[in-house]
A and B are shown apart, each in its own frame.
Chain A
Amino acid sequence: MRKVLLTLAALAGLGLAGGAAVVFLGLYNVSAQSGHLPGVAWVLHTTFRNAVELRAMPPDEVPDLFSPDLVALGARHYATACAPCHSVPGEARTATIRSMVPEPPRIEEAVAEWQPNELHWIVYNGVKMSGMPAWPAVTREEEVWPVVAYLAAIKEGLTVEEQQALTAPGEAPEGSPPGAAYCSGCHALIDSGVPRLDIHEAPFLLHTLSEYRDGIRQSGIMQQAASRFSPAQLEELAAFYAAMEPTGPASAPPEAGAQLAARGTGDVPACTACHGPGASEARGDFPALAGQDEAFLVTQLRLWRSGERGGSELMTQAAEDLDDAEIEALAAWYAALPPAKGPEAE
């Protein structure tokens, strides 16, 4: 018995010494030129597949993804955040990207073996030790769906022409700062779910972009967008959109939101006191909301209510007692107002 124990202990000691030698003496070759040893790639990939299948949400929790606005937003975010590694239909990956270990698959191949619920998990969580990053905004799991909608469209066989139409640059008149075409691609060309910028004044726009850039306000899409520019460039962009004259249709504002917005309730402050329309004075960091996108307002109010929005204790407190019906009524009311610059505008 003693002999057996001694042998086991000796073997364990040898194993430890071997492991320590690999770590401390650098015996394992991490070169990406040589690839993985036979069998290792299979072990890693199978582990990855099974881990995703185990953790992805049930398929019946996937929302409706057949919306052109969702696909367009996903496509435009993908174009700057994901395309460098996975490419887009009709384009090739660079030689450098193809030399990664593991090599990132072309997107058509990558989506072929996954369902939307699994794609959501992969895009939100990323994949450790593969080069696939996590979604930069940990509190914004719902924000991943546009990307999944776009990936589902690729799986359905998105053509090269369709792809080019989805990511055509936005309008950028002469003299506009660098990045304006990129920003307008979503903010001017997508109908729903993306906020309009022309109703805002420069201090608010710059404040918001800086919050995204510094991660104070979370959004995988806007943190990606804002981190592509220097502070000076962000300032130029803020000034560019602040100089725009808001135009656009207005419809009859629904009654339900009017009273709530102007008076609030015993628990909810009046929105118009800070956000207009018709605020007699307003601080530069209070955004105007008249004419703002309805779906965007609903999303933001829900984020405020859950306490995940970050950036203003006052708004978290203001929204914490709203119910779903009130959020929808307020968003519908503001969206129906004629768009106007600043909270002071009537």
Chain B
Amino acid sequence: MTARRWKSKAGTRAGASCALLLLAACSGRQSALDPAGEDAETLALMFTVMVTAAAILWLCLNGLFFYVTRVSPRRMSRKLANGLVIGGGILMPLVLIGALLAWGLSILPDHDQPGDGLVIRVQGEQWWWRVAYETPEGDVISANEIRMPVGERVSFVLDSHRVIHSFWIPSLGGKMDMFPGRQTNLSLRADEAGIYRGQCAEFCGASHAWMAFEVEAMEPDAFDAWLAAEAAPAGPPDGGAEAIGRQIFAREGCGGCHEIRGTEFQGQVGPDLTHVGSRHSLGAGRLGARLEDFSTWIAHTDDLKPGVEMPPFDHLPQEELTALAAYLKGLQ
């Protein structure tokens, strides 16, 4: 085998695996091409139409170019040449792109359209999300996860604490920037129940890439039940390990930064942990939410998320970390 042939074979392989990777990005819980909501549906349609139109335009222009330079390269009258340049090079793209633009603008989702009632405020932090559900009885505070009812348009009111972030749930709709001291709005509707993934889409510091969140679109009844449970204070520790974990939580001063409603822990610096045990991820999408993920996160925060404000509690022995994890996982 010559070097050249080998190279070309390797190239084909690399190309094929790239294509596979690209295809893999078309589906899944964080893909604008696998829509699960009204706005994402529109955006995906727009994307498909735009790409198709662009492909047609490209083929027509290059086809014409190929025809006049290779297939039938003969002299043309000045009139015909000018006509081709003006017609095919200016008028045709103008009409086609103008039509696409007008159509695109006409169906572009209105990020500010009124919702069906539920308002969720989200504030960007470095590098996590402060979440508040507005209810007639007052705000229900949560963090790093969003739950919303299927089939209802939800209004998101966004801002940020220190730097610019961007709120994006690709499966449900477009992105919206979050600014310190300024409020922006985003309106989204989920049409299919499921768990999706959101991601900060504006570079915001060392752990920008680790600033994600889970979104669960639930049937309206299930959502109402969940919101009622989320509004309730935390229950007492259930069992020996959990009670020991609660003592360690108090002893290490965790309540200085974290609130667990219904206890003496009232800190506001970090995420609210009242029902952290029921969330799908830890550290803003950094880890899963199994028992061992809790102790891994607590002991190694800075390795998992460079620059994070929470100090690593790696001075705690493993059995204490496990007890802490049991207490937190028990906060359902």
Residues of A near any B CB (own CB < 8 A): 262-274, 278-283, 286, 313-314, 317-318
Contacts and interface: CB of A to CB of B under 8 A. Distances in A.
A273 B311 contact: no
A278 B253 CA distance: 12
Contacts of A280: 247, 250, 264
Interface stretch (B52-60, B104-112, B266-274, B283-291): B266-274
Give the one of B251, B259, B309, B311 with max A CB within 10 A.
B251
Interface residues of B, number: 21
Nearest to A317: B309
Contacts of B253: 269, 273-274, 283, 286, 314
Contacts of B269: 264-269
Nearest to A268: B269
Contacts of B251: 281-283
B267 A313 contact: no
Interface string B20-53: 0000000000000000000000000000000000
A264 B267 contact: yes
A272 B125 CA distance: 24
Given A280-B247, A317-B309, A273 B268 contact: no
13 contacts: A264-B257, A264-B268, A265-B268, A266-B125, A266-B268, A266-B269, A269-B269, A270-B255, A273-B257, A273-B265, A273-B266, A317-B311, A318-B256
Nearest to B249: A281
B94 to A, nearest CB: 52
Contacts of B247: 280-281
B303 interface: no
B161 A273 contact: no
Contacts of A317: 309, 311
Given A265-B268, A268-B269, A273 B255 contact: yes
B309 A273 contact: no
A98 to B, nearest CB: 54
Contacts of B125: 266
B250 A270 contact: no
Contact of B267 (A270, A278, A283): A270
A154 to B, nearest CB: 46
Contacts of A269: 253, 256-257, 267, 269
A282 B259 CA distance: 17
Interface in B154-188: 161
A151 to B, nearest CB: 42
Contacts of B97: none
A270 B269 CA distance: 9
A265 B130 CA distance: 13
A254 B277 CA distance: 37
Contacts of A283: 251-253
Contact of A279 (B161, B248, B250): B250
Give the one of A266, A273, A286, A317 with max B CB within 10 A.
A273
Given A264-B257, A317-B309, 12 more contacts: A263-B267, A264-B266, A264-B268, A264-B269, A270-B255, A273-B254, A273-B256, A279-B264, A281-B247, A281-B248, A281-B250, A283-B251
B257 A262 contact: no
A30 to B, nearest CB: 52
A262 B268 CA distance: 10
Interface string B226-266: 00000000000000000000011011111111010000111
Contacts of B266: 262-264, 270, 273
B256 A274 contact: yes
